[in-house]
Amino acid sequence: MSTDTRADEAASATTDNEVGPDDGILAVESLRKEFGGLVAVDDLSFAVQEEEILGFIGPNGAGKSTTFNCVTGTYPPTDGTVWYKGEEVTGTPPHEMVKRGMARTFQSFAPLEDRSVLKNVALSMMDDKLVTMDGLLGEFHDEARAICERVGLGDRLYQTPAELPHAGMLRLELGRALGTDPDLLLVDEPFAGLSGPEVESVSDLLLELRDEGMTLVVVDHNMRGLLQLIDRAIVINFGSLLAEGSPDEITDNPEVQEAYLGGGLE
């Protein structure tokens, strides 16, 4: 009996919005992640188009981070398929995903506390090679310096992460992600704790990256600052898809308003 209902569900899901490998640069089909008895992500399907900025929105605990941990290989998904650039990458380990051109920033900043901003960025530019002459002569640092300047840390190259203000930490996260030369960048909660002007300058940077051909997925639980930035949004709640569409369609959607209890949409 239970197998029947599951089969039915699966059938309805696939008829509703079947996602295939060529539906976008990143395509996720029926992704499911369970922790013990808890279903964190419940048969979620979506696709990300090349050179778009997609907002990935949901209240706290909706499963946003878990989804991206499954996509980037941090956790193996319980079920479902992930395609990146048309290739199946389900369960590929994180460093392989980075090499394939998918980078991410962390919501809880994870810089290397023992080295300077410049060296943090330089690390992500290094080749995955065991024996190399690179770095012996310090020639790496020119490119790393350019990235630091790009993300607005040009005057803090030799400071340690502990000396950076909150916005600086976020910029460092972006710098470290950009150091891996990604085609798709997952940005986790970029605007949390930023002031108005800071939100604007980070948004400008993300728009600039998109104009250069990068695809961006911006994850956030509130929509402040996000709606001006994104082309399209996906809203999830309790691990499954709630709404999908342009920023206007999302804000007008009654279910989305319900999920946010009428708040957080201003």
Partner 1 sequence: MSDKSTSRLRLLLGQLNPLGLPLRQKIGVLGLAFLIALPLLVSLPVVGQFVVLILPASSWELGLYNVAAALFFAMFAMSWDAVSGYTGEISFGHGLFFAVGGYTSAMLNMGHGFSPWISVLGGVLLAAIAGVMIGVPALRIEGPYLSLVTLVAPLILLQVFIFMSDIFGGEQGLGNPENLVGLGFVSNYFLALGLFVAIFTLLWALTRSNTGSILTAIREDEDAVSAAGLSKAKFKIFAFVLSGAIGGLAGAAYVHTPVGSPTPSELMSVIVNVEVIIAAVLGGMGTIVGAAVGGLFVAMLPDYLNLVEFTVPVIGKSISSMSFFLFAIVTLFLLNIFPGGVLRWGIALGRRATGRDGGDEGMAADGGQSPEDAGTNPVAQTMERYQEYYDNMFGGDDE
DSSP annotation of 249: H
Q: Does the protein bind partner 1 through residue 93 (CB under 8 A)?
A: yes
Give the bridge partners for 103, in sequence order: 185
Rounded least distance, CB 218 to partner 1, Å: 17
Closest to 127 (Cα-Cα) out of 113, 146, 143: 143
Does residue 149 bind partner 1 (CB under 8 A)?
no
Query: Cα separation of 44 and 227, whole Å?
Result: 22
| Neighbouring-strand partners of residue 33 | 41
- Do 179 and 104 meet the contact criterion of CB atoms below 8 Å apart? no
Q: How many chain residues are in contact with partner 1, going by CB under 8 A? A: 45
DSSP, res 159: S
Q: What is the dihedral of CA 136, 139, 141, 143, to 10 degrees?
A: -140
Find the shortest distance in angstroms from Cβ 169 to partner 1.
13
Q: Which residue among 34, 52, 78, 126 contacts partner 1 (CB under 8 A)?
A: 126
Site for partner 1 contains 65 (CB under 8 A): no
Counting contacts by CB under 8 A, is residue 110 touching partner 1?
yes
Number of H helices, E strands in the chain: 9, 10
- Using the rule CB under 8 A, give the single segment among 51-59, 142-150, 176-184, 225-233 that binds partner 1: 176-184
Residue nearer to partner 1 on the CB measure, 219 or 223: 219
Minimum distance between the CB of residue 128 and partner 1, rounded to whole angstroms? 5
Residues near partner 1, by CB under 8 A = 93-96, 98-99, 103-104, 106, 108, 110-116, 119, 122-124, 126-141, 158-160, 163, 176-177, 179-180
